[in-house]
Amino acid sequence: MSVEMRGAMLEVRSLSNDCMQRRQNAVCLTCGARPFSVCASLRPDDMAVLDAIAEQMSLQADAVLIREGDPATSLFNITSGSVRVYKLLPNGRRQIVGFLFAGDFIGMAPGEDYGFSAEAIEPTTVCRFRRSDYRAAVRERPALEAALLERAMNELAAAQKQMMLLGRKTARERVASFLLELPARDPMRPSRDDRVRLSMTRAEMADYLGLTIETVSRELTKLKTAQVIQSISLHEIQVERPDRLRELADGEV
């Protein structure tokens, strides 16, 4: 290889690296979800690689992000807003299996097709990664693989907790547990102490908790009557007695 050709290749590589770095500075370093996401523990060079294959997307409320049964061609990192993840049961009913917020990663299907659907609950932004590009980046960057594995372990823990919630707890315990755990799931939008922000509807709460909307409304009313909680608005609840709510979640009468 001639000196001139080698120099040209080095210049192209340098320009590419400079471009990646500028894009990282413009997008990733200003991303409010970064401290809570798969990107949090990555070094700048790993971040640059990830950012180079990312595509930013904006979704309106109720827009489809993933449809069950479609080819699993992409993975997504939520950067703002919230998403409901659900499966359709054979009888046509919907079972919500999770709510995701800024910093959550979605789309890691074990097979070739998505095994669930996901829709925006409210205006939401995500970073989209083509599955083939992400797999190539993971093979070259062990730190990305480690971050992805950690995220998968977190998802497994959340699934186990959801199984216990549905299989062992009463309606009151489910509602109390949900109100206690929800604030920590949405760290990018912290509310005042002992306040719970509800981006989802009561019907979506019911689908997630395996209850009817009437049961959810009744249990919330009982908590209000007992002065354990107070409604601030349709989407915000004040927990007046957090210790009592915790006792109810643990099954203590």
Residue 192, pLDDT score: 73
What pTM was computed for the model? 0.79
- As a whole number of angstroms, the distance between CA 92 and CA 70 comes to 18
Nearest to 181 by CA among 251, 84, 99: 99
238 vs 53, more confident: 238
CB-facing half-sphere around the CA of 209: CA atoms within 13 A: 28
Phi, psi of 129 (to 5 degrees): -125, 125
Q: Could you read off the pLDDT of 28-48 as tens digits, one per residue?
A: 666 767 766 767 667 777 778
Q: Which of 17-21, 43-47, 54-58 has the lowest mean pLDDT?
A: 17-21
Assign 69 to helix, strand or coil.
coil
Report the DSSP pairing between strands 229-233 and 74-80.
Answer: unpaired
- As a whole number of angstroms, the distance between CA 217 and CA 142 comes to 47
Domains in the chain with CATH codes: 3-144 (2.60.120.10), 169-249 (1.10.10.10)
